[in-house]
A and B are shown apart, each in its own frame.
Chain A
Amino acid sequence: MKNILTILTGIVVFGAACNPKPTIIDDLSDITFELVNEDSTNISFPGHFEGDYVVMGFIYTNCPDICPLVTQNLVKIQKELNYPDDVQFVAASFDPFRDTPSVLSKYKDAFRVDKNFTFLTGDTTTVSAFMDSVKVRSQVSMTTTTGDGKEIYFLNHSDKIMVLDPKSRVVLEYGGSMTPVSYIVEDIQKLRN
């Protein structure tokens, strides 16, 4: 009887350890960035999404390989979570000079994303400050000339998907392109339970 009691105690103690409060990586609740979405609607980040979880990736639309993979991973996470109403999906551009709302709208169309999926950009100063605050870096890496003689540049950049809780606190971070979607989905489900 005493041993059974001991086992039960162990289960309670370690069971509590099994569902700890998520570690707060960063608290974004006390800052605001005035951004715009793909429809040119003003979005105050993160306040606009407060009350929902936010799964957020960082992209630029002239990126042919890594950023589409990040975007596709966001799409897959949303699908595997069965399009939950309490989780918002956001792809934020770190190349606001080229990624205007209309460009983001075109990019969004190509991915056929569902509701609760927002693309964000803004003026270069605000986006730069925003990227600093979420520790996303980018730098011009190489240029190439297009068929019509125009020069375009590519960026080296951070590869990141992060998850905010309903209080706008960053609670999960991943490599955005290479982390298996199933891992991220599992972690988000644990958070929401």
Chain B
Amino acid sequence: MITHKTLLVFSIAGITWLTACSDNQSQPAPETKTGIAETNRLEITDAWSRPAKEGMMSAAYFLINNGTDQADTLLSAVSSVTSNTQIHKSYEKEDGLMAMEEQEMVIIPAKATTEFKQGGLHVMFIQLEKELSVGENLELTLNFSSGISKTLSVPVRAN
């Protein structure tokens, strides 16, 4: 005869095991990190680019820290590795397909960090005119509406 006490013990054991069983397969990916820039200038940090062969595609990623009181706008990008450098954003469409859209400009809010990252905003190198090898650096210039131009030496590395 099963008593109430026995049922309680059985239930606790079961709940414990079910909790242990729960997988994390459906957990969402971490949210995009944004934060307040730490300086009072506009700075580009954490830049990197993916290795790729000549004629293929690659992209550059970085953080734009706008520590000033004024929003700025990224208007264009020029690189040393292809004459066709564009600013794009990857996103997921309503139908579930991954899509990409060229950005004519990107607003860079004041006192904030704008993240160019895989699966989001990125500078795209179309049909590389030279191979990008791990350990090398490429030159990337970002032009802003304020008149600021920032030229970066972007390291090539596997993510």
Q: Which residues of A contact B (CB under 8 A)?
A: 2-3, 6-7, 9-11, 13-15, 17-18, 61-66, 68-69, 72, 75, 106-107, 109-112, 137-139, 141-142, 144-147, 152, 154, 156-159, 172, 174-175, 177-180, 183, 186-187, 190
What is the number of residues of chain B that contact chain A, defined by CB distance less than 8 Å? 51
On whether A14 and B18 interact (CB within 8 A), knowing A64-B57, A178-B119, the answer reads yes
Q: Which residues of B contact A (CB under 8 A)?
A: 5-6, 9-10, 13-14, 16-18, 20-21, 23-25, 27, 29-30, 50-53, 55-59, 82-84, 86, 88, 90, 92-93, 96-102, 118-119, 122, 124-127, 129, 158-159
- CB pair A110–B51 under 8 Å, yes or no, is yes
Residues of chain B within 8 A (CB-CB) of A142 are 100-102
On whether A146 and B84 interact (CB within 8 A), knowing A107-B53, A139-B97, the answer reads yes
Q: Indicate which residue in A6, A18, A110 contacts B10 across the interface (CB closer than 8 Å).
A: A6
- CB pair A10–B93 under 8 Å, yes or no, is no
Return A43 CB to nearest CB of chain B, in Å: 23
CA distance A158 to B102 in the complex (A): 19
CA distance A145 to B101 in the complex (A): 15
On whether A154 and B158 interact (CB within 8 A), knowing A7-B9, A10-B13, A18-B21, the answer reads no
- CB pair B100–A141 under 8 Å, yes or no, is yes
CA distance A147 to B119 in the complex (A): 25
Residues of chain A within 8 A (CB-CB) of B100 are 64-66, 141-142, 154, 156
Q: List 17 A-B contacts (CB under 8 A).
A: A3-B6, A6-B9, A10-B14, A64-B58, A65-B124, A68-B58, A69-B159, A138-B97, A141-B99, A142-B101, A142-B102, A146-B126, A146-B127, A154-B100, A158-B96, A172-B25, A180-B30
Closest to A70 in B: B98
5 nearest A-B residue pairs (beta carbon): A10-B13, A14-B17, A64-B57, A147-B83, A156-B97
Residues of chain B within 8 A (CB-CB) of A186 are 23-24
- CB pair B17–A11 under 8 Å, yes or no, is yes
Q: Indicate which residue in B10, B18, B29, B97 contacts A178 across the interface (CB closer than 8 Å).
A: B29
Residues of chain B within 8 A (CB-CB) of A3 are 5-6, 9
- CB pair B6–A2 under 8 Å, yes or no, is yes
